[in-house]
Amino acid sequence: MTPVHPIIISYYSPMLYFPPPSQVTPTPSSESPQVLQYFVLRRNTFLKMGQTLSEPVTAKESNSVQNSMFKVGSSCMQGWRVTMEDSHTHILSLPDDQTAAFFGVYDGHGGPKVAQHAGNHLHKFIVQRQEYQEGDAVGAIKQGFLEFDHSMLKDEHMRDELAGTTAVTVLIKDNKVYCGNVGDSRAVACAGGQTLPLSTDHKPNNPEEATRIERAGGWVEYNRVNGNLALSRALGDFVFKRNTTMKPEEQMVIALPDVEYRDISDDWEFILLACDGIWDVVTNEEAVEFVRRRLSINMEPETICEELMTNCLAPDCQMGGLGCDNMTVILACFLHGKSYVDLCQKIAASYSPPLNPSLPVNGNVDEDNEGDEDEDNDENEADDNTIFS
């Protein structure tokens, strides 16, 4: 008989594989019907997750929006995965606060439902909080995430215990940037050519996260919660939030975000948000260098997003699996009341290519055609306030 311990079937799978129930040897930790039912349900879901196509879907959905403060490009690509589970949002002027802008990337797992719901609604929960009205943006983001998560738990159409999503959001208001994050999607800023991390990945093997997981009755195995979920914080994933004696922020997996905030100065150039399909392949510094190089030759933001994804896409998924995930990128460029050309020229004047540039997996840039537009790209000019799910 096969032991209960899960078997890793691929490095790129976001979850682990559980053997069929007939092959499971009961143990003290797996004797209850609820636990066994959980194993069965997760196994059936896992069989659909982490699977790859024989050829990647490289069609890209790209958009751009602009006002006097920002020029923003975004793009997403299904890649090697069987389905697209990412969602993203960019809103240059929030309906409930037209002085604020909001950007978000949501990397779903177990299906796209939670990620799409977050893309459509999370920003509303933040802006409508009393803390936000009182000028406490940090408190509004933290409580907004928790309230949004609780609202899904109460919604019979959303409390899918087998689905969840990361969330990395950027709120810009009163010349400050506030980044809220759960999971391993990531945001970085560039100011004067320097890389400024805005978020920290939430992994179960981080000491602080592991301590909380164990206090809530869980464990960390294979760097995963209960040998299963590769994230220690997420929206959804309610099967890990069942301890009724503990608060929402004390559960094995929590929706409480870390919030980083910074003042925006005149040397801020851009903010880059992306899912781990990008960050598994490139470092923060490599991504910033990749973007600055293309801004220095006046490339459009959405085209830069497309090229970053193309460069991170693996040539095949036979080994390792890096570059085999869904990919989503948002590039928000600061105009500071000037033109996009002015920003590009400013970067070009200070830009010095690295002596040994480090490029992603497929990082072969055609120097003769770097600035050319790809006529085949699926690019759309969008309204200022746009949500993509």
Confidence of residue 388 (pLDDT cuts 50, 70, 90): low
**DSSP H/E element including 230:** none
Query: HEC states along 162-209?
Result: CCEECEEEEEEECCEEEEEEECCCEEEEEECCEEEECCCCCCCCCHHH
Q: Give the pLDDT confidence of 131-187 residue by residue, as tens digits.
A: 999 999 999 999 999 999 999 999 988 887 789 999 999 999 999 999 999 999 999
Around Cβ 20, how many Cβ atoms within 10 Å? Answer: 11
The whole-chain average pLDDT of the chain stands at 84
Share of the chain above pLDDT 70, in %: 77
**DSSP H/E element including 192:** none
Nearest to 24 by CA among 42, 48, 49, 6: 6
Predicted pLDDT at 374: 43
Mean pLDDT in residue range 240-258: 96
**Under DSSP, is residue 198 helix (H, G, I), strand (E, B) or coil?**
coil
Give every CB contact of residue 363 below 8 A, 6+ residues apart in sequence.
311
Tell me: pLDDT of 367 over 70.
no
Q: Specify the range with the lowest mean pLDDT, choosing from 168-172, 254-258, 280-284, 355-359.
A: 355-359
**DSSP H/E element including 203:** none
**Under DSSP, is residue 376 helix (H, G, I), strand (E, B) or coil?**
coil
Tell me: pLDDT of 61 over 80.
yes
Task: Copy the structure tokens of residue 114.
Answer: 């939670």
Strand pairing class (86-91; 385-388): antiparallel
Whole-angstrom Cα distance, residue 69 to residue 47?
A: 45
- Residue recorded with tokens 């600035």: 371
Predicted pLDDT at 186: 98
Q: Higher-confidence residue: 252 or 7?
A: 252
Tell me: pLDDT of 19 over 60.
no
Q: Which domains does the chain have, with CATH numbers?
A: 1-50 (no CATH), 56-97+163-201+258-388 (3.60.40.10)
Whole-angstrom Cα distance, residue 190 to residue 268?
A: 6
Asked whether the beta carbons of 276 and 325 are under 8 A apart, the reply is: yes
Tell me: pLDDT of 251 over 70.
yes
Mean pLDDT in residue range 310-331: 90
Whole-angstrom Cα distance, residue 274 to residue 228?
A: 23
Q: Higher-confidence residue: 367 or 286?
A: 286
Tell me: pLDDT of 267 over 60.
yes
Q: Higher-confidence residue: 276 or 368?
A: 276
Tell me: pLDDT of 208 over 80.
yes
Predicted pLDDT at 323: 93
Whole-angstrom Cα distance, residue 322 to residue 342?
A: 36
Quickly list DSSP for 17-34.
BPPPGGGBPP-TTT-SHH
Asked whether the beta carbons of 261 and 137 are under 8 A apart, the reply is: yes
Predicted pLDDT at 20: 36
Task: Copy the structure tokens of residue 238.
Answer: 């309610």
Mean pLDDT in residue range 251-264: 98
- In 222-363, DSSP assigns E strands to 224-225, 235-236, 258-263, 268-274, 327-334
Mean pLDDT in residue range 364-373: 41
